[in-house]
Structure 1
Amino acid sequence: MDFAAATRTPTHHRMVERLRVRSFATRGDMSEAAARDIADEIRARLAVADGVRLIFAAAPSQAGMIGALIAEPGIDWSRVTAFHMDEYIGLATEAPQRFALWLQQRLFNRVAFAAVHPIIPEPEPRAAAAHYAELLTAAPIDIVCLGIGVNGHIAFNDPPVADFADPLDVKIVALDDACRRQQVDDDCFANLTDVPERAVTLTIPRLLRAQRLFCVVPGAQKRTAVERTLRGPITTDCPASVLRRHADCTLYLDVESDPDVWNG
């Protein structure tokens, strides 16, 4: 497919096993479409339930979608409870790279949620993980908004630690080098030595138990991971490949992240 033509017209939307794939000409179009779909899902659930429970990813790839979601009309945020899916261990409380702070600045402080539950690893990360698991299991999780890492991770379930049958809901993990390098490439840290080596993360089974998943993945640096997610074997070598098994997951791509733009 000619790249100039691809930037004018979105590639085809399609199904890959159970996974819906929606592809757009620009990152902005992708972000706005994902936000509309998430907003529609929130409004539909609020029409029949007292509240909605969401889990958010914190990453530059999610910023456009989050900004568009905040602008969506008719959402009663006072009936929405928010969680997030991972957090570094060892950063200062006010470090700008902390995911809870990133989300607080871009989302949690901008709309009036019923409740926001940040992951706070201090002072004892394992106790924090156990406490967060209890909060998550208090009621079903309706929606997860996630991305995919350059190594195929979802949350901080990197290939060396990903487990499709993990008995835990939240756990402590060591971050692999590809994951830590991504944080530098995303301009979140100045150099690799500044990136923490451990984190608290929701596990893959915990994420997959949510009723709806919306996965937003822009950018050329994610193209290989997306191709492995869509075409490779379902394996922890590419943890995101398991999204093809979820009953209700949509993957949103832009012209740079969609491998079919380049292979079609």
Structure 2
Amino acid sequence: MKQLRFDEVELFVYDTREEMGKAAARDAAVCIKELLKERSELNCIFAAAPSQNDFLAALTADVSVPWEKINAYHMDDYVGLKQGDPHSFNGFLSEKLFSKVPFKSVNLIDGEADPDKEAARYGALLDGVRIHITFMGIGENGHIAFNDPGVADFKDAKTVKKVKLDPVCRQQQVNDGCFPTIADVPEYALTVTIPTLVSSERIFCIVPTAKKHDATCAALTGPVSETCPASILRKTKHTRMYIDTACAGNLINK
């Protein structure tokens, strides 16, 4: 393991994505238990993507985590997909996480609802609580949640909003094996906005594979700008990023 720092981001580099996932889960469990020493419950936001598989598998296997004290939220979902649809993010997280451990509550985005009304409803839920931990990844275009470069706003006034997904984002869903062709990927989604994500007391960002190398480098070494939304993490305290050597590439030699 190699440890580096880029402004506020503590970066941990592991040889394999399996090691990365286990380390992130181990540290997350410690963080959860530490925060619960001063609180009766936690509110956590989770990302849904194959990049999170190793982390989620290790985290759900940890029997020491007091899940019954955690309220779960997720950070985005497609417009038009019903709850539980295998292509939806709520369906993904229900399979990989929500059905495996006994959360205090699970709060799902409804992709079939009127997008504006659902954005307002889910936004009100998040506005009503303090977010303690956000577990996220970085997209191939540098997005966090579905805040793609064209719609990302570091000062967004909304908590949740409807967005049109850019072509790189939609192609990533095909690259990840989530949809057979780009034509099958919904054009619109609901996303938690950047100010809400970075308001979290702690952030764990898990980013494996060489496909994420360019975006990770841009986030950590390029300008802090909406052109690479993940770059805002460099200005966000208590951010830990976990990557594998395939993602790191020459980053660890800079």
Partner Cα distance (1:107, 1:14) in 2: 30
Cα distance between partner residues in 1 of 2:146 and 2:222:
20
2:191 partner amino acid: T
The unaligned stretches of length 5 or more in structure 2 are none
In the aligned structure 1, how far is the partner of 2:195 from the partner of 2:3? Answer: 27
Aligned position for 1:120: 110
Structure of greater Rg: 1
Residue 82 (structure 1) aligned to one of 72, 83, 86: 72
Residue identity in the other structure for 1:132: Y
Residues 1:86 and 1:37: Cα distance change in structure 2 (over 3 Å)? same
**Partner of 2:46 in structure 1?**
56
Confirm whether residue 66 of structure 1 aligns to residue 56 of structure 2: yes
- Of residues 210, 217, 223, the one that matches 2:207 is 217
The alpha carbon displacement at 1:47 in A equals 2.1
1:138-193 deviation per Cα after TM superposition (whole angstroms, max 9, x unaligned): 12000000000000000000000000010001000000000000000000000010
**SS of aligned partner of 2:246:** coil
Does 2:131 correspond to 1:141? yes
Match status 1:253 vs 2:243: yes
The list of structure 1 runs, each at least 4 consecutive aligned residues, that deviate by more than 6 angstroms after superposition, is none
Structure-2 separation of matches of 1:17 and 1:64: 26
Cα distance in 1, alignment partners of residues 203 and 117 from structure 2: 27
- Displacement after TM superposition at 1:259 (Å): 3.4
Change (3 A) 1:250 1:218: same
* Percentage of matched positions with identical amino acids: 43
Question: Which residue number in structure 1 is paired with residue 144 of structure 2?
Answer: 154
How many residue pairs match? The answer is 254
- C-alpha deviation, 1:84, in angstroms: 0.2
Structure 2 residue matching 1:141: 3-state secondary structure: coil
| AA of the residue aligned to 2:234 | R
In the TM superposition, 1:166-181 aligns within 5 A as 166-181=156-171
Deviations 1:222-260 (A, max 9, x none): 000011011100011100011000011001010100133
Q: CA deviation at 1:122?
A: 2.4
1:180-199 correspondence runs (5 A): 180-199=170-189
- Structure 1 regions of 5+ residues with no counterpart? 1-9
Secondary structure of 1:256's aligned partner: helix
What residue identity is the alignment partner of 1:106? Answer: K
Report the TM-score when normalising by structure 2: 0.97
Matches within 5 A, 1:38-57: 38-57=28-47
Partner of 1:3: none
Tell me, in whole angstroms, the C-alpha distance in 2 between the residues paired with 1:123 and 1:47: 38
What is the Cα deviation at residue 46 of structure 1? 1.6
1:33 paired to 2:17? no
Separation in 2, partners of 1:128, 1:261:
40
2:247 partner SS: coil
